[in-house]
Chains A and B, each alone.
Chain A
Amino acid sequence: MTARRLLTRGNIGLALLVVVLLAMPNLASAFFVNFVLTQTMMLGVAAATIVFLARYGGMVSLAQFLLVGVAGFMFGNAAVEGGARGLNLGMNPWLAVVFAIVITTAVAFVLGALASRTTGLYFLMLTLVYAVIGFFVFAQIVELSGPGGITSIQRPDLMGPPVRLYYAGLVLSVLVYLGFKALGRATFGLTLQGVRDDPIRMASLGYNVPMHRTLAFTLAGFVAGLSGVLHVWWNGQIDPASIAIGPSLILLIMAVIGGISYFEGAWLGAFVYVLAFTYLRDLPLIDQIGITEARFNTVIGAVVLLIMVLSPEGLAGIAARVWRRVNKPASAAPTAPAGGPSSAA
C-alpha cells in the first residue's frame, strides 16, 4: 500500500533525475560537474531554506546567506591551524563541522527569536538588517575573519577529490528536499502553515506563535549551516565581502527565479544563476551587444523582471503550469482516489 503510494509520477521523476545526476561525473566535463553542478547543489540547499521559511512560515528572509557565511567562518576558524588569520583553533575537521553547525544554529535561534514577532515586510527588513550587521561584524572583528578573510581552508581527507564534494552536495540536496517536503505534512510543518495563515487563530488554539517562528528560523539556519560548510570546503577560503548584502540578495533572487513557493525552484534558480554566471561571457557576439561581465547583474535583473512578469511563481511555476496542461486529459482518473484515506479510515 505504502509502496504503491510512493510510485507517483513526481517521485519516479525525482528518482530518474537523481540517477542522471549520480551519473553526471561520467557524462559531463569535470568543469561542469565540479563547478556548475556542485555550486548548484550548495546554493540550492541555501535557497531551499528561503523557500522553506516563505512557503510554510510566510517569512521571506534575507539573512540565509549570512548563516551560510557564519558556518563557513566558524569552520575556517575551527579547522585552520597555525595560519596567519582567524582564531586558528586547529580542531579535527569533523569536530570543526559540528562546531560550525552548532554555532550557526545558535545564531539562527537568537536572530529568529528577535524577529519572531514580526511578519511580512517588517520581517524582510529585519533580516536585511541582520545581513548588514553580520557583514560588518565579520568585516570589523578581524580576529574572527582574519584580516581580509580566512584562506587555505582544507576539507577533510574523505572529501578530498572534488567529485566527492559534488556527491556530498547531491546527497544533502536530496535529503533537504525530501525532508522539507515531508515536514509540510508533519505536525511542525502544519503548525507553521497555520501560523502563516492566521497567527491569532493559532494562538487561540493553544500554540506559541513566536516560538514556532523562532524554531522554524533555527531549523532553516541549521540547514543553511550545512550548505555553508560545503561551500567553504569547495571554496577553500571565505572573506567578509562574500557575505555582503549583494550575495545575500542574489540568494533571494535565485529563490525568486526558481519560484519561491516551490522547493524544486530553489535548485532550478540556483542552476539558472550559476549557468548564466558561468557561460554568459562565453556566448558568441555577447560583447558586441554590450553585455560585458561588468553588466552581468543587469542581465540577471532583466531575467528576474521577465520572470516576474511572465510568472510570479518563477520557473517552477511555469513548469507546474505546463505540467498541469499536459496532464489535463490524464488527470481525471488519478484524482478520483483523493477520498481514499477517508474511506479506508
Chain B
Amino acid sequence: MTQTTPAPAVPAIADPVIQVRSVVVAFGGLLALKGIDLDVTRGERLAILGPNGAGKTTLFNVIAGDITPTDGTVAIKGRDCTFLPSRHRPRLGMARTYQKARSFDGLTIRENIYLALAGHRGRHWPLWRSPVDRRLDEEATEVAESVWLGDHLDTAAGELAHGQKRQLELGMAIATQPDVMLLDEPASGLSRGERERLVELLDSLAGEVTLLLIEHDMEVAFSLSQRVVVMADGAMVTAGTPEQIQSDPDVHEIYLGVEASS
C-alpha cells in the first residue's frame, strides 16, 4: 500500500461550479471518502481516475445528491447543496449518468428521453396528453437521433444492447442541455467504434459545459479532459494535466499495482 500523500492544495479559482469541501462518507465502519476537497471551474473538463473502490462513484453520488455526506459540504454554483435531495439538481443545470445504465426498461427510448425532458421542465403531473407533449416528443426524437438511436424510438429500453443503453443514458443527460454533466464511466463496455463516437459527441458539447468524468479507459479520459484527478482508497492522491498524470510514477503504481517500468 502506498503512502497516500496529502491532497494537493486546491488553488483558489475564480468561478467555481462545484466546490467540495472536506467531504467524508462512511458506510458503517467503512470510510468510502476520507475528506475530499475539489473545485471545478465553469467549462472545465475534469477526469477522475482511480482503481476500483477508490471512491470515485461515491464522490459522484455526493455531488449529484444521491448520498448525503457524513461530513463536509458540497456547493453547486455557489449554493450549498449538501443536504439538497438529488431531485433538485436538474434545476441547477446538472445532469448525470450512472455507471450501470439506469434506464426505464419498460418504456420506449422516446419515453425515456421524454421523462428526462419533462423532469427538467417541471412537467410532472398532467393526467392527459396535450400539444406540449407532442413538442416534447419531437425534442426527444431529436435527442435520440443525436445519440444515434433515431431508428429505435419505439424500442423498449429493456431490449437494447449494452452499447445502446449507454447511448440512451447519455441522451437522457444531454437532453436537458445541462451546464454541468457528471458521466460515470460512459465508455465502459463500448466497442472501439462506439468509443470514438462518444468522444466525438462529448467534444461537440458547448465550451461552457462543465464535464466531470469517471473513466477507466485512459484513451477516452485523456482525450476528453483538461485536468485529471487521481483517487485511491477514498482520498485524492494527485492532480494535474493529462500529460503530467501519464508520466507520474505514483499513478502508475496506484493504478496498475506495479512499479513504473518505463
Contact = CB atoms under 8 A, between A and B. Distances in A.
Contact of A208 (B104, B124, B129, B154): B124
A206 B64 CA distance: 11
B128 A190 contact: no
Nearest to A187: B126
Contact of A194 (B90, B107, B138, B153): B107
A197 B107 contact: yes
Contacts of B89: 204, 206
A290 B126 CA distance: 54
B119 A202 contact: yes
Contacts of A190: 107, 111, 114-115, 118
Interface string B117-131: 011101111111100
Interface stretch (B21-29, B95-103, B228-236): B95-103
A206 B90 contact: yes
Contact of A185 (B64, B120, B125, B129): B129
Q: Which of A186, A188, A190, A208 has the most CB of B within 10 A?
A: A190
Given A205-B90, A342-B153, A215 B125 contact: yes
Contacts of A204: 64-66, 86-87, 89-90, 96
B85 A205 contact: no
B217 interface: no
A191 B118 contact: yes
B106 A345 contact: no
13 contacts: A183-B128, A187-B123, A194-B115, A198-B104, A201-B104, A203-B86, A204-B66, A205-B90, A205-B120, A206-B90, A339-B154, A342-B154, A345-B141
Interface of A: 182-183, 185-188, 190-191, 193-194, 196-198, 200-209, 212, 215, 338-339, 341-342, 345
Given A187-B123, A345-B138, 18 more contacts: A182-B128, A186-B126, A186-B127, A187-B126, A188-B124, A191-B125, A193-B106, A197-B107, A201-B103, A203-B85, A203-B87, A205-B116, A206-B87, A206-B122, A207-B115, A339-B153, A341-B137, A345-B141
